[in-house]
A = this chain, B = another copy of it.
């Protein structure tokens, strides 16, 4: 878990007064953030408690409020941080592939892999839909937009077919994203049994060739 970078211009933001100014403070903040991720990951937002987060971190309740204005604030910080983490993990795998279609497969595998090792993260992002809807929307809109652009560029290079009208890149992006998310839920969070590569291969076959008989 990484401490979110504090914007240099945030002198007016309410969190400015909360930014640690000392090495000790930074250490404590990270401790709290990690503990919060565990707590919310295991118990969920509403069942999770500040007292327990503080306990996990080995600090007093009051220290929590030195760094966050509220329970929701720490949750939002978590969502933003994890949103970044997922993309930082998956995007390089997509870019490293020789073409977009191969990248799609690598991306699914990388995503599944990440979900399996970060189940708390998955739950927190999903639950944000009901706790901090704007953060949830931002996450998925960002991912979808990146996807749509990437697909359109791949089409420009002739790597994928694309006899579609304008808004269809968004539809495709959301469709593929939903596919990945659900596969992540079923074969990442709910079960570890199936090998990641097999799932990625099956998903890739679907995305690549479609269902129409040749």
Residue of B nearest to A181 (CB): B178
A213 within 8 A of B: yes
Q: Which of B127, B174, B206 contacts A182 (CB 8 A)?
A: B174
Residue of B nearest to A178 (CB): B182
A59 within 8 A of B: no
What is the oligomeric copy number? 2
A207 within 8 A of B: yes
Task: Enumerate chain B residues within 8 angstroms of A129, measured Cβ to Cβ.
Answer: 126-127
User: What is the minimal beta-carbon distance from A187 to any residue of chain B, in angstroms?
Assistant: 7
Query: Given contacts A164-B202, A203-B171, A213-B160, are A180 and B183 in contact (CB under 8 A)?
Result: no
Known: A130-B130, A164-B205. 9 other contacts (CB 8 A): A126-B129, A159-B213, A160-B211, A161-B210, A161-B212, A170-B186, A171-B202, A178-B182, A210-B210
